[in-house]
A and B are shown apart, each in its own frame.
Chain A
Amino acid sequence: MAIGIGGAGGKLASLMSPNSVAVNVSETELSKVNAAEKILAYAHTERGQLKGSKKDPSIGKSSFNSIRAQILEAVQGNMVLSSSGGGTGNGITSQILDVIATYDNIPDIRKTEFAIILPYAPRESQEFIVNTLEFLKGPLSNALDSTNTGNLFLFSNKMKFEQRIAEEKYNQMIVESLKKFEAIPKKGDTCELLEGHIDHEDFAAYRSKSFFNNFCYFDYDPERYFGDQLNENANPLLLPGETPIEALFLLEVPTDYDHTVFYNILDHFSSIKVAPMYSVVRNPAIDKPFVTVSTLYSRKPMELVNDFNRISDESTQAKIDKSLEQYVEFQQMNVTLQEEAQKVAHEKGQPTDEIISVLKRLGKLK
Chain B
Amino acid sequence: MSMNELFEKQIAELQRAHFLVLYWTTVAEDKKIRYNITNVFDDLKYLKVTRTKQSAVAFVETLKTLCFIAIREESNRKNLYLSNYGAQALEKLIISKKFEPEKSNYLEG
B95 touches A359 (CB 8 A): no
B95 touches A341 (CB 8 A): yes
What A residues does B90 contact at CB under 8 A? Answer: 355, 359
A361 touches B30 (CB 8 A): yes
For B29, the closest partner residue in chain A by CB is A362
Bound-complex Cα distance A351 to B103 (A)? 12
What is the 8 Å Cβ interface bit string for chain B, positions 50-83, against chain A (1 contact, 0 not)?
Answer: 0000000000000000000000000000000011
Interface pairs (23), CB distance under 8 Å: A338-B95, A341-B95, A345-B95, A352-B97, A352-B101, A355-B26, A355-B90, A355-B94, A356-B94, A358-B26, A358-B30, A359-B26, A359-B87, A359-B91, A361-B30, A362-B29, A362-B30, A362-B82, A362-B87, A364-B83, A364-B84, A365-B84, A365-B88
Closest Cβ of chain B to A14, distance in Å, is 74
A261-301 residues with Cβ-Cβ distance < 8 A to B are none
- A342 within 8 Å of B by Cβ? yes
Known: A364-B82, A364-B84, A364-B86. A356 touches B30 (CB 8 A): no
- B96 within 8 Å of A by Cβ? yes
A342 touches B95 (CB 8 A): yes
A365 touches B87 (CB 8 A): yes
Of all A-B residue pairs in the complex, the 7 with the closest CB atoms, nearest first, are: A364-B87, A352-B94, A359-B87, A341-B95, A358-B30, A365-B87, A364-B84
What A residues does B94 contact at CB under 8 A? Answer: 352, 355-356
Q: How large is the interface on A (under 10, 10 to 19, 20 to 34, 35 or more residues)?
A: 10 to 19
For B94, the closest partner residue in chain A by CB is A352
User: Which residues of A does B touch, CB under 8 Å?
Assistant: 338, 341-342, 345, 351-352, 355-356, 358-359, 361-362, 364-365
- B35 within 8 Å of A by Cβ? no
What B residues does A341 contact at CB under 8 A? Answer: 95-97
The CB with the most chain B CB atoms within 10 A, among A355, A358, A365, is that of A355
For A364, the closest partner residue in chain B by CB is B87
- B41 within 8 Å of A by Cβ? no
A355 touches B88 (CB 8 A): no
What A residues does B84 contact at CB under 8 A? Answer: 364-365
What A residues does B23 contact at CB under 8 A? Answer: 355
For B30, the closest partner residue in chain A by CB is A358
Bound-complex Cα distance A143 to B82 (A)? 89
Bound-complex Cα distance A364 to B67 (A)? 13
B95 touches A352 (CB 8 A): yes
Closest Cβ of chain A to B40, distance in Å, is 18
What A residues does B92 contact at CB under 8 A? Answer: 338
Bound-complex Cα distance A161 to B87 (A)? 75
For A351, the closest partner residue in chain B by CB is B101
Bound-complex Cα distance A306 to B100 (A)? 75
What B residues does A358 contact at CB under 8 A? Answer: 26-27, 30
Bound-complex Cα distance A359 to B96 (A)? 16
For A353, the closest partner residue in chain B by CB is B94
For B23, the closest partner residue in chain A by CB is A355
For A341, the closest partner residue in chain B by CB is B95
For A342, the closest partner residue in chain B by CB is B95
Bound-complex Cα distance A286 to B94 (A)? 102
What B residues does A351 contact at CB under 8 A? Answer: 101
What A residues does B86 contact at CB under 8 A? Answer: 364
Bound-complex Cα distance A356 to B89 (A)? 11
Kindly list 10 other residue pairs between chains A and B, CB separation below 8 angstroms, not including A342-B95, A355-B26, A362-B30.
A341-B97, A352-B94, A355-B90, A358-B30, A359-B82, A359-B90, A361-B30, A362-B26, A364-B86, A365-B87
